Structure 1
Amino acid sequence: MRKIDMLIPDRGQPDTAALRAHDPDALARYVLDPGNAWWRRRICADALAGRVPEARVHGLLDRIRDEDETAEVRIALLDLLAGRTELLPWLRDEERHGDGSYGVAEAVLKARGLLGDRTAAPGLSTLAASPWQRWRETGEAGLDGLVEHHGADAILADLGEDRPEDRRFALRTRHRAGLDVLPYLADPDRGVADLAQSLAADPDRLRAFVDQAPTPEAAVRAVCALHGLTEDRAETRRLDERLGGPRVGVDGLDEELRRAVVHEYAPRCERKSDPRWRLEALCTEPPGHQDVDARLTRATAALAAAGLDPAPPVSAGDHHQQGDGSYHVIRCGDEHVLISVLGRFASGHDDGHPARRALEEAGFRWIDGATGGIEVTDLCVYHFGGREPLDVDTLLFYWQD
């Protein structure tokens, strides 16, 4: 066992090649011993892929069933032993594995799919539509297992197309079969339509679809998909003009704010966003070069001239001691003044603080509560696990750990 410990050091990367060549019975015994570190046991389970000693299978299956076992070890063993049909009764018994261990329920669904359990199809379809990559890939792997056992047509029939997640599966299936995916650009669920946009691969078909699209939003998606293939900005702008320059209206969002927000967030917005935001980012000019250092120097000087004794600027990440953000913090006594990297925007907790006047006189734009509270409609941005529209204040002064 000490040799295995040496192959998986406390620091640094494990020697995966040596582990793959190591005696499989020794690895299995290491996994079975709860006295070993769980993270080493998980790595050993991975190293057993394709060479599990039959004599150790029963004990390893017991580790999966044990709700007191570490979740990551159980998940690794479920992947390792997913083809064992004797596990299926336990996998299908919701009460016996409903212990809430992180990730185990998802791994169970995947294992059921790999064993061909068609009753797992709805759950796997939902999992495959998750915005989280880990769960999405888990669901897709389980669905692929069902297709391997029963064929795509059978699983499509089981699921139907009433739910958005089931239409995602139908769309993926059509794409794999080399069939046309463009009709899904008009899907009423933006997540499904966004997937279709990412899968579209024929520029000529997309050009034709723009004029034939059943909905204005589908036409916008076709233009965005075409740009993704050609990167021809001139053509994209011509098509945008042909469509009438479709834009999302947001009350109170003036051109300066809009341009800063659009060009920072629209290119990487979440799949539930209105596609007009992405088209706008492609067809409008971004803000000019942002000299952040010069802006911070100017802000600090203005605050100092006002007698506010500003501390040196620190980034949002340094201020919070983790993560990163789109602003710097200048402390003036009890007030934290925020200076955005996206433009001449400043803010603070107190709209009446003397820092506001000092910065406005120096050419900054103070984002007060009313302006900061404007929600940017249908521009969905990731923020602490959420993927919903955010307000101006959060977008200009964004921080994520």
Structure 2
Amino acid sequence: MRKIDALIPERGRPDRAALGAHDPDALARYVLDTGNAWWRRHICAQTLAGRVPPARIPGLADRIRDRREPAEVRIALLEALADRSELLPWLRAHDPEQDGDHGMPEAVLTARGRLGDPTAARPLATLADSYLERWRKAGEAGLDGLVEHHGVEAVLAALGEERPEDRRFALRLRHRAGQDVTAYLADPDRGVAHLAQSLAGDPDRLLAFLDGTPPLEAAVRAACALHRLTGDRARTRRIDERLGSPRTEVAGLDEEVRRALVHAYAPSCERRSDPRWRLEALVTEPPGRPDPAARLARATEALASAGLDPGPAVPVGDPDEYGEQDEYDDQDDGVAHRITCPGLDVVFVSGLGRFVTGRGDDRHPARRPLEEAGFRWIDGPTGRVEVTGLYLLSASGSRGPRPLATLLF
């Protein structure tokens, strides 16, 4: 046992190569001994995949069933015993409400799929539709296990196509088989249509699709997919013009602000976004952005010339001198800077253009000197405009359209 401890030191990385060559019976006995550190037992359990001694299977299966066991150890053992059909009755009876910590429900679902449990198909499809890559891969692994046991058509028949997540899985299977997936560009669910856009790989099929009469959003997605494959911006612009240059209209959003947002966010917006934002980014020129350091220096100089005694510019997201963060925290770091003037509310300087704002009343003392220096003040009503159809992942993990002020600052 001391040798295993030495291979998994408290500090530094475990020697996985040596553990992979270690006696599997000794590793299994180490895992079964709950007196050993759980994190070492977890690593040992991971190294048992594909080489579990038959005599140790019942005891290790008991460790999986024991809710007092750390979830990490149980999940690793589920991987190691992935082919043990005797676990299936317990897996089917598993109650995620009673045993739902640290990924156990997801691991149980994946194991059911790998063991061929057809009743796991629909929840696995839901898991495979997750925004989180970890769960998406777990769901897909379970569905792939079902396909191995029952075949593609049987699994697709069990799922049907009523739910978006079921169509997403069908799309993935058809793409894997080399079949045409362009029809899915017109799926009513934007998540499914976005996946089709990312998987479409034949320019000729996309051109033929565009020559038909697809719905507008599907045509926009085909244009974006074609651009991804060919990089032909001139053709993308011609297609955009032929489609009537479709745009997501947002009341109160003028051209200057719109261009800044389009080129900052549309290329990486979430899968449920309106695809017209992405096409607009492909066919329009990005706004010229002066050096960020020069912009901040100009703002600081304007404030200083007005006698407002500005402090240093600090990136939004960094806590202030009181350990508090500002109202625009729910945004990626580096989008804007804040400048504090003694006795005044904070001034925010956007990293996306010449946009500035301040908390509180729009008669902020900093407004006039900044406007005279060429900046554009974003007032309260303008800042509250919701930019519809542009779904973004926030720092807190939420998704959806957000107000203009949050996007700029």
Q: TM-score, normalised by structure 1?
A: 0.94
In structure 1, the residue matched to 2:338 is 329
Query: Structure 2: how far apart are the matches of 1:324 and 1:135?
Result: 26
Query: Structure 1: how far apart are the matches of 2:96 and 2:195?
Result: 36
CA separation of 1:39/1:339 partners in 2, compared to 1, >3 Å: closer, same or farther?
Answer: farther
AA matched with 1:396: L
In structure 2, the residue matched to 1:369 is 380
In structure 2, the residue matched to 1:387 is 399
The question of whether the paired residues in 1 share the 8 Å contact of 2:96 and 2:105 is answered with no
Percent identity of equivalent pairs: 70
1:133 is the counterpart of 2:129 = no
CA separation of 1:129/1:96 partners in 2, compared to 1, >3 Å: closer, same or farther?
Answer: closer
- 3-state SS of 2:389 partner: strand
CA separation of 1:222/1:313 partners in 2, compared to 1, >3 Å: closer, same or farther?
Answer: same
CA separation of 1:358/1:36 partners in 2, compared to 1, >3 Å: closer, same or farther?
Answer: farther
In structure 1, the residue matched to 2:328 is none
1:360 is the counterpart of 2:371 = yes
CA separation of 1:7/1:366 partners in 2, compared to 1, >3 Å: closer, same or farther?
Answer: farther
The question of whether the paired residues in 2 share the 8 Å contact of 1:65 and 1:97 is answered with no
Deviation of 1:96 (Å): 7.5
The question of whether the paired residues in 1 share the 8 Å contact of 2:160 and 2:166 is answered with yes
Deviation of 1:316 (Å): 2.4
Please show how residues 175-254 of structure 1 align to structure 2 within 5 Å.
175-254=175-254
CA separation of 1:352/1:32 partners in 2, compared to 1, >3 Å: closer, same or farther?
Answer: farther
- 3-state SS of 1:267 partner: helix
Deviation string for 1:235-266 (max 9, x for gaps)?
Answer: 11111111111111000011111111110110
Query: Structure 2: how far apart are the matches of 1:178 and 1:361?
Result: 60
- 3-state SS of 1:99 partner: coil
Give the structure with the larger strand fraction. Answer: 1
AA matched with 1:168: R
CA separation of 1:146/1:367 partners in 2, compared to 1, >3 Å: closer, same or farther?
Answer: same
Query: Structure 1: how far apart are the matches of 2:63 and 2:97?
Result: 12
Deviation string for 1:122-173 (max 9, x for gaps)?
Answer: 0001111111111110000000000000001001111110000001111111
- 3-state SS of 2:348 partner: strand
The question of whether the paired residues in 2 share the 8 Å contact of 1:290 and 1:341 is answered with no
Q: Which runs of 4+ in 1 moved over 4 A?
A: 320-323
In structure 2, the residue matched to 1:9 is 9
The question of whether the paired residues in 1 share the 8 Å contact of 2:42 and 2:76 is answered with yes
Deviates more, 1:104-113 or 1:349-358: 349-358
RMSD, aligned α-carbons: 1.8
CA separation of 1:274/1:379 partners in 2, compared to 1, >3 Å: closer, same or farther?
Answer: same
In structure 2, the residue matched to 1:396 is 408
Deviation string for 1:181-213 (max 9, x for gaps)?
Answer: 011100000001011111111111111111214
Query: Structure 1: how far apart are the matches of 2:229 and 2:388?
Result: 27
Query: Structure 2: how far apart are the matches of 1:235 and 1:305?
Result: 50
How many residue pairs are counted as aligned between the two chains? Answer: 397
Q: Which runs of 5+ in 1 are unaligned?
A: none
AA matched with 2:305: A
Give the counterpart of 1:349 among 339, 355, 359. 359
CA separation of 1:355/1:47 partners in 2, compared to 1, >3 Å: closer, same or farther?
Answer: same
Query: Structure 2: how far apart are the matches of 1:12 and 1:254?
Result: 55
The question of whether the paired residues in 2 share the 8 Å contact of 1:112 and 1:120 is answered with yes
Please show how residues 275-354 of structure 1 align to structure 2 within 5 Å.
275-319=275-319, 324-333=333-342, 335-350=345-360, 351-354=362-365
Deviates more, 1:11-20 or 1:151-160: 11-20
Deviation of 1:66 (Å): 1.6
In structure 1, the residue matched to 2:149 is 149
Query: Structure 1: how far apart are the matches of 2:87 and 2:237?
Result: 57
- 3-state SS of 1:347 partner: strand
- 3-state SS of 1:179 partner: coil
Q: Which runs of 5+ in 2 are unaligned?
A: 326-331
Deviation of 1:97 (Å): 7.0
Query: Structure 2: how far apart are the matches of 1:74 and 1:352?
Result: 60
Deviates more, 1:341-350 or 1:6-15: 6-15
The question of whether the paired residues in 1 share the 8 Å contact of 2:289 and 2:353 is answered with no
Query: Structure 1: how far apart are the matches of 2:284 and 2:64?
Result: 55
Deviation of 1:317 (Å): 4.3
The question of whether the paired residues in 2 share the 8 Å contact of 1:290 and 1:342 is answered with no
Query: Structure 2: how far apart are the matches of 1:241 and 1:96?
Result: 52
The question of whether the paired residues in 2 share the 8 Å contact of 1:298 and 1:362 is answered with yes
The question of whether the paired residues in 2 share the 8 Å contact of 1:48 and 1:80 is answered with yes
Q: TM-score, normalised by structure 2?
A: 0.93
Deviation of 1:228 (Å): 0.6
Please show how residues 163-182 of structure 1 align to structure 2 within 5 Å.
163-182=163-182
